[in-house]
Amino acid sequence: MDIRGILLANSEHIEGGGQAAAPLATLEVAGKSTLQRMAERLQQYGISSVSAVVETVVPLGVRNFGLPDVSCVSAAPDRFWRTAESVFNDMAQSGAELVVLVRLGSYVEVDFEKLVQFHLDRKERVTQMASDEQKLEIFCISASRRNDAASLFRTQLAHCRSECPLFQHEGYLNPLATPRDLRQFAIDILTRRTQTCPAGKEIKPGVWTAPGAMIEKGARVLAPAFVGSMARIRSGAVITRCSSIERHAEVDCGTVIENSTVLPFSYVGAGLDLAHSVAGMGRIVNLHRDVTVTIVDPKLVASMSVASGKRLMTSAAEALTYLPRLVFQGMFASTKAAQPDLQTTLRQTSPALGTAAGFETSACDTEASHKFPNMVVARRYGHQ
Amino acid sequence: MDINSRPVVVKRMPERLNSRTAREFLRDVRPFLAADRPQLVFDLSLVAQIDAAGVEMLLRCMSEAHKRDGDVKLASLSDQAAVVLELTRTERLFEIYETSTEAARSFSGFLPNAMRQQLLHNKRSTTQPIAA
């Protein structure tokens, strides 16, 4: 039987203003986007002919969204549904008998075999999936029923002209509607609550790295965690508690990433503490506070260029200017004051007391300080 | 109990705290910081954008105040300011209060409720990793 699949990814599901630039389905979580994961799942069930329609602000025509065996078509928001309908019609014309239609959106671990069997047993035109009375945007459509399919596409999958029986889903489901869902999805993948795995090699129990990931000496990656391809974890950085560092992201020296996702092509500055957040595209979505903050300072969080040539140029410019910068800083930086030792500091007069009181008062001028050089006298604040 | 009679200066921070506004703000508060045992409260309710220069200025104010046995406390943090302070690990260096009044009052005595927010935050951080 000729069964084919259509994956639809558009940005209607985005809420909270977190990731407005692209549909959440195209954002990578633990190395792969939902689009990639769903395409792989369809192929695992023997549905090898899969097409994806992805909404982009600038239509790019046919483009590979990291899906080598999937024909991808990008469509402008106003032409998205028309493009999806024409992809369906093309499939029907080229001999498909059944079409499995999945709108992402949500990530659902569908048992496609059971879905198709249910559809065939009941001899239905269109079958829809549901989970606990909630309808999911996953359909099994008989390809010969073009009018039913057209009614679905023209109402943006809201209504079908014929009655759709519901096939109950029992398995993993993540609505992927908000950045919180995106974070939960990363946690579920890393803690193996899903059938899908992180896209990489498990270098030690619970720690996955994709090819080209760079973890510098002195950096710590604590399980469960994921480091994507070409991502860089600088010395002294700590990645912990189900954190996911996606491809080409960079975590600078001494930064702690805890229970967070760093999106692809994002930079997190040195000495920071990123917790319970999704960071990237110059923004931080803090899940504890339920707030999205735009970070304007590139020293804290920045976006890196997606174009590899531009990234190479930036790296080359940084390498070339490294020595001149050091020389410049050495020439014009103020001389570092010598660190006074503890005894000298303690014997110094408080700047607030000295001239104001009209006489020199020592903060610590006791004989004991000579007898016990290791003793530290802590000065209490005035109001305590 | 020691009754504090020294004045507490409450200063509202600007909406955007970048290097230029931070410099201006520091110039404004410098006379207060130069006083004997300065007591300052910075109200961050209006802050919508804060960068590294803004955080550095806060630390500088704190260090100046500490040099003179004083203190700087923060109040009414906006979400944006709170996220950046958390990110830069500076929130733990300041006493943070819900309102400027509470912050000002705290200079004259220890408020048992002052730590409640912090304790709750710590408790949440140590629980199992879930998406908040």
Element (H, E) at A43: helix A34-44
- Residue pair A190/A30 in contact by the 8 Å Cβ criterion: yes
Cα–Cα distance for residue pair A289/A180, rounded to 1 Å: 11
- The owner of tokens 């069964």 is A3
Q: Which residues of B touch A275 (CB under 8 A)?
A: 86, 125
Interchain CB contact of B79 with A (< 8 Å): yes
Cβ atoms within 10 Å of A32's Cβ, excluding its own: 24
Q: Say what the pLDDT of residue A133 is.
A: 81
Judge: B51–A300 Cβ closer than 8 Å, yes or no: yes
Cα-Cα-Cα-Cα dihedral of A12, A14, A20, A26, to 10°?
Answer: -80
Which of B6, B52, B124 has the CB atom closest to A300's CB atom? B52
Q: What does the block give as tokens for B66?
A: 């500490």
- Residue pair A169/A134 in contact by the 8 Å Cβ criterion: no
Judge: B88–A286 Cβ closer than 8 Å, yes or no: no
- Residue pair A279/A261 in contact by the 8 Å Cβ criterion: yes
User: DSSP assignment of A115-176, as one string?
Assistant: HHHHHHHTT-SEEEEEETTEEEEEEEEETT-HHHHHHHHHTTTS--SS--PEEEP-S-EE--
Arithmetic mean of pLDDT, B74-98:
94
Interchain CB contact of B91 with A (< 8 Å): no
Judge: A288–B124 Cβ closer than 8 Å, yes or no: yes
Please provide residue A16's backbone torsions phi and psi, each rounded to the nearest 5 degrees: 80, 0
Cβ atoms within 10 Å of A383's Cβ, excluding its own: 18
Which value does ipTM take for this structure?
0.82
Judge: B83–A383 Cβ closer than 8 Å, yes or no: no
Interchain CB contact of B80 with A (< 8 Å): yes
Domain with CATH 2.160.10 in chain A: 198-303
Cα-Cα-Cα-Cα dihedral of A329, A330, A335, A336, to 10°?
Answer: 80
Judge: B36–A352 Cβ closer than 8 Å, yes or no: yes
Interchain CB contact of B30 with A (< 8 Å): no
Judge: A383–B37 Cβ closer than 8 Å, yes or no: yes
Q: What does the block give as tokens for A383?
A: 């109001």
In chain A, the residue whose alpha carbon lies closest to the alpha carbon of B66 is: A381
CA angle A80, A163, A169 (to 5 degrees): 75
Q: Would you say the C-alpha torsion A186, A190, A191, A194 has a positive or negative sign?
A: positive
In chain A, the residue whose alpha carbon lies closest to the alpha carbon of B52 is: A297
Domain with CATH 3.90.550.10 in chain A: 3-174
* Exposed/middle/buried for residue A321 (C-beta within 10 Å: 0-12, 13-18, 19+): exposed
Element (H, E) at A308: helix A308-332
Interchain CB contact of B112 with A (< 8 Å): no
Q: Which residues of A touch B18 (CB under 8 A)?
A: 296
Domain A198-303, CATH class in plain words: mainly beta
Q: What percentage of chain A exceeds 70 in pLDDT? A: 79
In chain A, the residue whose alpha carbon lies closest to the alpha carbon of B1 is: A384
In chain A, the residue whose alpha carbon lies closest to the alpha carbon of B89 is: A273
Q: Say what the pLDDT of residue A18 is.
A: 43
3-class secondary-structure state, position A309: helix
Name B18's Cβ contacts closer than 8 Å, sequence gap at least 6.
A296, B49, B51, B53, B54
Judge: A187–B83 Cβ closer than 8 Å, yes or no: no
The Cα of B77 is separated from the nearest Cα of chain A by a number of Å equal to 12
Q: Say what the pLDDT of residue B13 is.
A: 96
Judge: A180–B87 Cβ closer than 8 Å, yes or no: no
- Residue pair A271/B89 in contact by the 8 Å Cβ criterion: yes
Q: Which amino acid is at B105?
A: R
A232: left (phi over 0), alpha (psi -120 to 50) or beta: beta
Domains along the sequence of chain B with CATH: 9-125 (3.30.750.24)
pLDDT of B127 higher than 80: no
Interchain CB contact of B126 with A (< 8 Å): no
User: DSSP assignment of A174-218, as one string?
Assistant: E---SHHHHHHHHHHHHTT-SSS--SSEEEETTEEE-TT-EE-TT
Cα–Cα distance for residue pair B82/B45, rounded to 1 Å: 10
Cα–Cα distance for residue pair B46/B14, rounded to 1 Å: 6
> If we measure between CA atoms, which residue out of A29, A27, A30, A31 comes closest to residue A54?
A27
* A143-201 pLDDT tens trace: 999 999 999 999 999 988 888 899 999 999 999 989 999 999 999 999 999 999 999 99
Say which range, A118-122, A320-324, B27-31, has the weakest mean pLDDT.
A320-324
The Cα of A273 is separated from the nearest Cα of chain B by a number of Å equal to 5
Cα–Cα distance for residue pair A136/A172, rounded to 1 Å: 13
pLDDT of A107 higher than 80: yes
Cα–Cα distance for residue pair A25/A177, rounded to 1 Å: 10
Three-state SS letters, chain B: CCCCCCCCEEEECCCEECHHHHHHHHHHHHHHHCCCCCEEEEECCCCCEECHHHHHHHHHHHHHHHHCCCEEEEECCCHHHHHHHHHCCCHHHCEEECCHHHHHHHCCCCCHHHHHHHHHHHHHHCCCCCCC
| pTM for this predicted structure | 0.80
Judge: B83–A289 Cβ closer than 8 Å, yes or no: yes
Please provide residue A227's backbone torsions phi and psi, each rounded to the nearest 5 degrees: -125, 120
* A1-39 pLDDT tens trace: 899 999 999 875 444 444 445 677 888 999 999 999 999
pLDDT of B124 higher than 60: no
Which of B51, B69, B125 has the CB atom closest to A297's CB atom? B51
Interchain CB contact of B90 with A (< 8 Å): no
Domain A3-174, CATH class in plain words: alpha beta
* A253-270 pLDDT tens trace: 999 999 999 999 999 999
Which of B4, B83, B121 has the CB atom closest to A284's CB atom? B83
Cβ atoms within 10 Å of B75's Cβ, excluding its own: 23
- Residue pair A272/B116 in contact by the 8 Å Cβ criterion: no
Q: What does the block give as tokens for A160?
A: 């079908």
